[in-house]
Amino acid sequence: VRAGDLAAPFPTVHLDTSAVAAAQLMARRDLPGLIVVDQVGGPAAVLPGTQVLRMAVPGYIQDDPALARVVDEATADVFFRELGDRTVADCLRVERWELPVVGVEASVLEIAALMARSRSPLVAVVNNGGSLVGAVTLAALVDRITAS
Amino acid sequence: VRAGDLAAPFPTVHLDTSAVAAAQLMARRDLPGLIVVDQVGGPAAVLPGTQVLRMAVPGYIQDDPALARVVDEATADVFFRELGDRTVADCLRVERWELPVVGVEASVLEIAALMARSRSPLVAVVNNGGSLVGAVTLAALVDRITAS
């Protein structure tokens, strides 16, 4: 079994997608994260759900977690206000993490090791041309491992 | 809304639970990770699913990812053999990450900031005595935020 066999279609966003729309997509579809594709259909970023959440946590809270306690209530407004009218590209940080992307020939073990190393529950699968063909989620990988 | 209101019961494992049993619990219940409790019922560790997977990825693969490609096929045997007869405590690494645990009075924003910072889709909630009362998952938090 190779990554190409395991890869399932996965919703994508673009660098110029609004950050609010991207966050809403993840929430509504209950996705473990987001895959951002570039103009030629290759993965520009793979964001674990926690890092999509990070885009929406107000900067002043990230700078000083103690402030989070004094904010009276966190409604969707607080998070959506932070996202504002920024695009996904505006929210991306330079990541020191390995991009969780594999080719269609990657083995189950390669995918597992990459998820563990990159702490990403979502791995993008690309064809030889570098275009996204789908994704393998942690849940799908664990299902596959335990079914064997 | 405070962490105590959001916390839902969450299955736990102990430091002396077998690593195989812990991994199987996560797989069967489709959990986003595991909470390890100590002898007095407090959280000893909170492991994102990717880090539970890491316990099961053979050490030689983690040391040299290129080897993953040459391993013929990754069946459950490969992973379970790595877990062997080790306990959860045997598999825990010293983590440089903040333990994702909050008190029952933590706000939604505190939980969100902690998930983002610790890259954990699972936060344990403890009472004033330090005992586990439940957990908040990323999915539950996002539901709460988008419902408000």
Chain segment B86-99, per-residue pLDDT in tens: 999 988 876 656 78
pLDDT of residue B75: 67
Q: In this predicted structure, what is the pLDDT of residue B19?
A: 92
A contacts of B109 (beta carbons < 8 Å): 57-58, 61, 68, 71, 74, 78
- Interval B111-146: pLDDT, tens: 999 999 889 999 999 999 999 999 999 999 988 887
B137 at A interface, C-beta within 8 A: no
Predicted structure pTM score: 0.87
Residues 6+ apart with CB under 8 A from A95: A45
pLDDT value for A73: 63
DSSP string covering chain A, please? -BHHHH-B---EEETTSBHHHHHHHHHHHT-SEEEEE-TTSSEEEEEEHHHHHHHHS-HHHHH-TTHHHHS----HHHHHHHHTT-BHHHHPPPP-SPP-EEETT-BHHHHHHHHHHHT-SEEEEE-TTS-EEEEEEHHHHHHHHHH-
* Chain B positions in Cβ-Cβ contact with residue A49 (cut-off 8 Å): 121, 138, 142
| pLDDT mean by block of 10 residues, chain A; 148 residues | 92 95 91 94 93 87 78 70 88 75 92 92 95 95 82
B31-59 mean pLDDT: 92
Mean pLDDT for chain B?
A: 88
pLDDT at A94: 63
pLDDT of the residue at B114: 93
B27–A143 CB contact, under 8 Å: yes
- Please give the share of chain B, as a percent, with pLDDT higher than 70: 93
CA distances from B57 to B14, B65, B101, B107 (A): 21, 11, 26, 36
Asked if the C-beta of A86 comes within 8 angstroms of chain B's C-beta atoms, the answer is: no
Is the complex ipTM higher than 0.95? no
Pairwise pLDDT comparison (A118 vs B73), residue with the higher score: A118
Whose tokens are 């030889």? That residue is A128
- The answer to whether A112 contacts B57, with C-beta atoms less than 8 Å apart, is yes
Answer yes or no: do A113 and B57 touch at CB < 8 A.
Answer: yes
Q: How far apart are CA A15 and CA A18, in angstroms?
A: 8
Q: Give the pLDDT score at A84.
A: 86
